[in-house]
Amino acid sequence: MKQQQSSITALPPSPDEERHRRMVRYGVAMGIRVACVLACFFVHGWWLVLPVTGAIALPYIAVVLANVGFARPGVVERPGSIVPTRGGPQP
């Protein structure tokens, strides 16, 4: 019986790649938060609600987005985890 070969593109990202992706996402969200805080000094009237809301809500959103793992579609099979054999146990 022919064994199915695994593809490197079907494997999940390495822990280092995933950590880097999460750090970048968190950094971008915190950069937007800093922009919101700075905008609070320059915006007047009812428009002030938008940067204040962003400055308050973005830390929560940033943490949630940073901790969400994105799984690639498809099935990842471990090579050699199930090996079909014929007959009974081998001596």
Q: How far is CA 54 from CA 16, 32, 38, 57, 68, in A?
A: 30, 8, 11, 5, 20
Is residue 27 domain-resident?
Answer: yes
**Mean confidence (pLDDT) of the chain:** 78
Length of the chain: 91
Contact 50, 87 (CB under 8 A): no
Contact 1, 84 (CB under 8 A): yes
**Where does the pLDDT of residue 32 fall: very low under 50, low under 70, confident under 90, or very high at 90 and above?**
very high
**Where does the pLDDT of residue 35 fall: very low under 50, low under 70, confident under 90, or very high at 90 and above?**
very high
Q: In degrees, to the nearest 5, what angle opens at C-alpha 21 toward C-alphas 24 and 78?
A: 170
Domains identified in the chain, total number: 1
What is the model's pLDDT at position 90?
Answer: 58
Is residue 88 domain-resident?
Answer: no
Q: pLDDT for 38-56, tens place per residue?
A: 999 999 999 999 999 999 9
Is residue 42 domain-resident?
Answer: yes
What is the model's pLDDT at position 53?
Answer: 94
